[in-house]
Amino acid sequence: MSEEYENKSGYQAQSSETISGSSSGITPDMDYVRPAENAEQDLYHPHSFIEKWVFCQDAKVIGVQYFLTAVFTGVVGLILSWLMRLQLGFPGLAGFITAEHYYQFVTMHGMIMVVYFLTALFLGGFGNYLIPLMVGARDMVFPYVNMLSFWMFFVAVAVLMASFFVPGGPTGAGWTLYPPQTILEGTPGHGYGILLMLISLALFVIGFTMGGLNYMITILQARTRGMTLMRMPLTVWGIFTATVLAMLAFPALLVSSIMMTLDKLLGTSFFMPTILKAGEVLEYGGGSPILFQHLFWFFGHPEVYIVALPAFGIVSDLISVHARKNIFGYRMMVWAIVGIGALSFFVWAHHMYVSGMNPWFGFFFASTTLIIAVPTAMKVYNWILTLWRGNIRINTVMLWCLGFIVTFVNGGITGIFLGNVSVDVPLSDTYFVVAHFHMVMGIAPLMVIMGAIYHWFPLVAGKMLNENLGKWHFWTTFLGAYSIYFPMHYLGFIGVPRRYYEMYDSPYMTSGVGLNEFISTAAFIVGAAQLILVFNIIKTMKTGKKAGQNPWKANSLEWFTSTVPPEHGNFGDRLPVVHRWPYDFNVPGAEEDYLPQTAAPSEVAHTEVEKT
């Protein structure tokens, strides 16, 4: 087995059985790559329209399905946010928005955006599309389970959306669904709404588990020859670590959903203490509402990083490609991703400083929260140092990346405020918190999603999106998003509480009324500005210029497929063989300013590439 030599052309995809005869060593030792450990994957090719586009087993199609479904939920979430801003900026203008409706909008907006939009988009959408391509696999390792995963997600979304149409409407308990109020009379949607929400969450977890197993095993066990873990693009690292977090954090959500469903349906008292309602003692008694908060946030905090880590990974790749420079401190970046992922399981109770838990908990969780800022800050420094003296191309993708860094640093700094118990207590439940988490896990990941759309659209659709429209889209979104969330910090400082239907003539609002109108106006504009992207996509599909292979001159494997867009099986007859990391840009001595991962050392013998 030790005398296997790699073909000079750089491609070989036979299984280990067939190549054990040894090819006659034409190429020098320097190109040696270990023979294939996995047999060629057995793929099931679709035979009908339904198998090709509906119940499809191709990870790329599943990725697009996930993406479109998630975007649909995102649009619903956006419309809900418009309705909220309409009420907050111009109270009473839209008479149909009652207080109950407002709470339902808040709840559904939160849950949709965090779980059904961002998580599904990053892991289901980008994960499915990019993982097999980037690690050099023909497909996910369990294509059938992968297909089930999407359809389970689809059913979860359908159940969630159905809750808009049941008697009583969707739940209005806030996205955290804190008991006891969630399932008690007086909370909007305490009947069918909350039940459908809990069922939908459980379905989502089941569906995600099926997908997550695929992502993990594909990355761990199905990489192509030469693809070591430390040669994987950071996108894959980010998605991988986020998947690990999801596999360990979603159980808590599943369990809390089941327990609350039983509280609601069977009248158990897991989370329900003894409650007096209108002078009467309810049937409930002896349960612990704090237990739910612990379970929820044991899921909820890793969830933040489930959204953030893929964004970190993707943005690292985009910055490196569009600054034509290798990512600064690749290993540090990997360890930072893994470290953040591990630490994210030890910070959950910083969401519960005012819940009445033991104050020593606050001490512990404040410390871990501040510690997690260290690897995060390292990543920010590394992005900036990647840009430093790079050959930066100010195109749309780069603009989104820069927008990400700014909004993320902004949201991260306010996070350090809120991580300290003594600062958090007066600020909790104010607009400062709203501004913080929208900046750090709303706008920042969204910037990355947009950048990723502009970056990978040529791969998925084969055509280049229009740059001018892209820049309009970016600047309206970026400036608009800042106009929305920056003033909210100030609203929080003057004490405006969040989740209030209306402020009436409260003394908080002397300087806040005009600001609220301004924020709402900006929100309408930013939401509408997303139509630029829709228009851009339609225009591009009709008249856009062909992208061809590797339009950005990137190094990673997804740009070296046999056809653009890639077909089922991704790489044609032979899988690529990897010789280097994906960040060899502007290597001294190389003819082009990039060296693909498949470039063998002997092909570029005169360059000064460091060993990876």
Partner 1 sequence: MSDPKIEGFELEKGFRGMAKDTGSDQTMFKGVHWGKAMMWIFLLSDTFVFSCFLIAYMKGRASTPAEWPNPSEVFALDAFGVPVPLLLIALMTFVLITSSGTMALAVKYGYERNRKMCGYLILATALGGLTFVGMQAYEWSKLIHEGVRPWENPFGAAQFGSFFFMITGFHGTHVSIGVIFLFIYCYKVFAGHYEEGKRGWFTKMKGDYVEVEILGLYWHFVDLVWVFIFAFFYLW
The residue within the footprint of partner 1, chosen from 93, 220, 534, 541 (CB under 8 A), is 220
Contact flag: residue 224 with partner 1 (CB under 8 A)? yes
Q: Does 259 bind partner 1 (CB under 8 A)?
A: yes
Give the number of residues in contact with partner 1, rule: CB under 8 A: 57
- Which two structure tokens, joined as six digits, stand for 176? 């955290």
Kindly indicate which of the ranges 29-37, 379-387, 418-426, 447-455 contains the residues binding partner 1, using the contact rule CB under 8 A: 29-37
421 touches partner 1 by CB under 8 A: no
Q: Does 1 participate in binding partner 1 (rule CB under 8 A)?
A: yes
188 prior amide bond cis, ω within 30: no
Residue 378, interface with partner 1 (CB under 8 A)? no
Q: Please give the backbone phi and psi of residue 138, each rounded to the nearest 5 degrees, phi first.
A: -80, -30
Residue with the two structure tokens 């606050």: 362
Choosing from 40, 50, 68, 267, the residue that interacts with partner 1 (CB under 8 A) is: 267
Least separation, in Å, of the C-beta of 371 and partner 1?
21
The answer to whether residue 34 forms part of the interface with partner 1 (CB under 8 A) is yes
Of 332, 342, 140, 141, give the one whose Cα is nearest residue 241.
342
Examine residue 216 and tell whether it contacts partner 1 (CB under 8 A).
yes
User: What is the DSSP-derived secondary structure letter of residue 496?
Assistant: P
338 binds partner 1 per the rule CB under 8 A: no
Facing residues of 594 across strands? Answer: 585
Subset of 484-523 contacting partner 1 (CB under 8 A): none
Element (H, E) at 543: helix 512-543
Task: Write the binding mask 42 to 71 for partner 1: x where contact by CB under 8 A, - elsewhere.
Answer: x-x---------------------------
Nearer to partner 1, 35 or 110 (CB): 35
Work out how close the CB of 505 gets to partner 1 at its nearest, in angstroms, rounded to a whole number.
42
* 209 part of the interface to partner 1, by CB under 8 A: yes
d(CA 413, CA 399): 21
Chain residues 134-153 in contact with partner 1, contact rule CB under 8 A: 141-142, 144
Q: Which stretch binds partner 1 (CB under 8 A): 175-183, 289-297, 406-414, 419-427?
A: 289-297
| 35-39, long-range: CB < 8 A, 24+ apart | 35/1, 35/4, 35/225, 36/12, 36/225, 36/575, 38/221, 38/222, 39/15
Region for residue 496 given its phi and psi (left: phi exceeds 0; alpha: psi -120 to 50; beta: otherwise): beta
Strand, helix or coil for residue 211: helix
Query: In whole angstroms, what is the distance from residue 309 CA to residue 298 CA?
Result: 17
Tell me how far the alpha carbon of residue 402 is from its chain's centroid: 18
CA dihedral 278, 283, 289, 295 (to 10 degrees): -140
Non-local (6+) Cβ contacts of 526 within 8 A are 476, 477, 480, 481, 483, 484
Report the residue from 8, 22, 25, 37 that binds partner 1 according to the rule CB under 8 A: 37
| Nearest approach, Cβ of residue 518 and partner 1 (Å) | 44
- Please state, in angstroms and as integers, the Cα–Cα distance from residue 150 to each residue in 195, 253, 259, 306, 453, following that order: 22, 19, 25, 18, 20
Stretch that binds partner 1, among 208-216, 375-383, 398-406, 418-426 (CB under 8 A): 208-216
Binding mask 293-312 for partner 1 (x = CB under 8 A): -xx--x--------------
* By CB under 8 A, residue 226 contacts partner 1: yes
Residue 497 phi/psi, 5° resolution? -75, 150
Helix (H) or strand (E) holding 276: strand 276-277
- The one among 10, 31, 33, 435 contacting partner 1 by CB under 8 A: 33
Closest CB to partner 1 among residues 250, 365: 250
Does residue number 252 form part of the binding site for partner 1 (CB under 8 A)?
yes
Dist. CA 137–CA 128, nearest whole Å: 12
Q: Is residue 183 close enough to count as binding partner 1 by CB under 8 A?
A: no
Binding piece for partner 1, criterion CB under 8 A, among 192-200, 247-255, 475-483, 590-598: 247-255
Residue 113: closest CA among 441, 409, 360, 366: 441
Longest dimension (CA), the chain: 90
- Residue ranges binding partner 1 (CB under 8 A): 1-2, 16-17, 33-39, 42, 44, 141-142, 144, 209, 212-213, 216-217, 220-230, 247-248, 250-252, 254-256, 258-259, 262, 266-270, 283, 285-288, 291, 294-295, 298
